[in-house]
Amino acid sequence: MDKLDIERLLESVRAGKVTVARAVDQLRHMPFEDLGFAKIDHHRGLRQGFAEVVYAKGKTAPQVVAIVRGMLRRGTTHNILITRADVAVFRAIRKLNKSAKFHALSGAITIRRNQEISGKGTILIVAAGTSDIPVAEEAAVTAEIMGNRVKSLYDVGVAGLHRLLHHHEEITQARVIVCVAGMEGALPSVVAGLVSAPVIAVPTSVGYGASFGGLAALLAMLNSCASGVTVVNIDNGFGGGYAASAMNRP
């Protein structure tokens, strides 16, 4: 349940459309619901502004379905995001809810029940290379499902800096920028040097041996020469998109 769900429930009680007993029954699983293998945090939307996100990797399809079923049952307005899923999980979720959408590039599944745009400005997702797109797409899907306007610029890395500068106006107009890069991870520092908006750097595991699976990019981003760069974990597009959404709230 999120704030809007609770407000609607209380209004229904006041209007006499829902009994007190029924309202208590709907609220009794807050703050969490114990499924044995998982404890669904129904209170998270009220605390943090967005419902619990389901990380599918390492879970079975029936486990993911059970978690999502509980979330659908207890809330009527919040969007649902499942990350790091595969086609098998999507097929199972699709049987549960026909509006589920699979984002193949990122491996994310979304169930959108609220179309409201609550973010104050535009979140811009900037990816250095085509190989970084899966992580960038995870950031984009996350930011979008959390109620933000999102734009993307792909394959604008420092190996051809003119490609980035061609989009100078879009870059300077963004309220928050998520910058995704592998290899040496230089792009976020360049972007941060061009704008006053916060830049969230997402290192990827793209690169040859000495990139150490994204560690080289991570360290480069942590040592960014430009100010205002915040760094999340390697390949953590979700973390980048979530942080950008928090920064973009009114």
CATH of the domain at 152: 3.40.50.1970
Model pTM score: 0.85
Q: Are 66 and 130 within one domain?
A: no
Q: Are 97 and 176 within one domain?
A: no
Q: Are 193 and 224 within one domain?
A: yes
Q: Are 140 and 207 within one domain?
A: yes
Residues 227/170, Cβ–Cβ less than 8 Å: no
Q: What is the mean pLDDT of each run of 10 residues along the chain (250 residues)?
A: 71 86 69 80 76 92 94 80 96 94 96 90 97 98 96 95 93 97 95 96 96 96 93 97 94
Residues 93/64, Cβ–Cβ less than 8 Å: yes
Residues near 53 by beta carbon (within 8 Å), at least 6 away in sequence: 81, 82, 83, 142, 238, 242
Q: Are 195 and 150 within one domain?
A: yes
Q: Are 136 and 239 within one domain?
A: yes
Residue 147 is predicted with a pLDDT of 93
For 146, the token pair is 């959390």
